[in-house]
Structure 1
């Protein structure tokens, strides 16, 4: 089960604006309506839509979830819909334009944006002011940070993050051990340069170009209060220059800057690099694809602020049965039901404020799960309270342009400042929320 955030990289401005125009949205405020009382007797039918989760593995879970909810609310009927993975955002926008959005649906923050701007999603913080304390802080903020729009438009459902993975066998000759791994971006890049120099380029610790998450991890503000990208700063220039210095010292495979790049995780599995990033599920990849690396690999938290990947459940503002829809969204995302879900979706974390310990215990007791997986999950879960999601305004096109400019800067063809200025200008010129 691949994390949905790796498949969704933003929505084209034209699509978002087309939806807003069709539905009469503007952007300054979003759908509200005040608090919604779910404590009384609920009745009626609601539709619940998931994203490519109706299958042998997850169907029994959702069937049981719905049955339990209907048992608590015998006058409510929940109809479960599931959309295939491909074309999901197009399907969502089509439903919104035709006023056929399900009552409860699954949206990551970026796909949610055009619906929020068009007043198609319910402000859940207004609907139930007691909710915020129940959920992961970063996940809650991811649905509460739509530029110029107050409110919260999704309940964190399941989350994930990346870890660092180190080949200690390759690194031990250079004084690197599990107890002294770098914990900051600067320290990691300094180590990469040193190890490359000492090994004459044989041991490489940089296998990807700097991305937006690199600057987030380093604690560099990437956006201002107006929603403009602002990471073309001296601090970011320093990081890009460190990448360039590491590349020059032989710390980075040349293919990482080219179209032949297969990904840092794949290069790690092939033994080409001694460092990679990846989710806790990478432990399973090691066991199946590179078993000789299992015993020499150690996981640690990502240097600096870890990235956050988040999926949420949302409520349609056009629902004819908001009380039942809200009640079901809260029920599906409560700690008990989230824990049960991520016990199946191994490698993910519940979007609630707690519950991670129970998941780890379940994984540790499962003989089918490699011990390294449980250890990695402990590390990831410990980091999640401080994790931050990439701004929803950052699109796949922005990433493509960034990679082009960063390749030039890392090779030394242009200065870091020039690359960052171009990247920031391009991102601001093409923001999906303008």
Structure 2
């Protein structure tokens, strides 16, 4: 398998765990044309690692069968383009009968995920069908007398506030209309709320040690007096605070994705094999220590590292194994709002960016970019900050067709846009 499994090896070799209750798994993405066959992958995981949880982004039968008669627990996914369809009971039952039942009990299918980061798509029609689809899949499993969990992963863009962690809250309106009902489903079915925290998307040169779990002075949450010594705990506690704010602090949390790239853009600070090994190794130690987080002490979180392979056919989004090549040609570029974008769309962009770990302090009261105090100005700054933080790829400025890349510097007075 060669260098494709570099990240997996770096975190396996960087920590030795003897506990039988191993809680760290791996995401097995397959958007590539140069991967070994699933049977070879499963044998590698079984014989060369201590991993016993694997998550895939579809329900590929060859992959599911490759883990038959093993000790691996498999999480499979209803693809995003099928989420709306399976909201109908008959379609959900067909999906379960086609993609789940034929492989039981040989393959240990632990969980079915209905879509992946559906809220981040901004597709209101699909978002409205997410919970009905989760319920329909759950009912189909019950009808088949099968005990398999049902959940769905969320990016941290679901948060409108994440700093400090104790102030974490879901995006406005979505908190009661979307997340409270989803969390009620999880409470009733005893299934986890799944999130994808990525310190990689929020670090800078000053906070690299904080992001990598290395010794550092920490970041103080003045509201609670808690000093956070790693960014992941802060992100997790922000999610917990948001859940607690709507009355569901008792629902378990699972980390569906997190990781750190072993390669990035030329001269990119903080991206190397050593940094990937540091993050993933320290992550494993931390998640299996039982220490939990400051607001969720003495807890162990099931966690999936992203990702097992470089996926050479991916065309959207940076991969924490190896980010997509930047579209940067040496010319400075900025991401700004399109003229036709509505205030509602731009506010959603602000909520997504500021909830994803990007620093939005400059557009908060008293910040250098707070004035003019309007949605369009704030959104332009936030969208550019996200675009710059994610590698300056054109697709990082799309924002559901509300952003555009510009070569004109939008900075003004004391408000400096990154480039």
* TM-score bin, normalised by smaller chain: under 0.3
Query: So what's the TM-score if we normalise by structure 2?
Result: 0.27
Q: Which has the larger radius of gyration?
A: 1
Higher relative contact order (CA 8 A, sep 6+): 1
Structure (1 or 2) with the greater helix fraction: 1
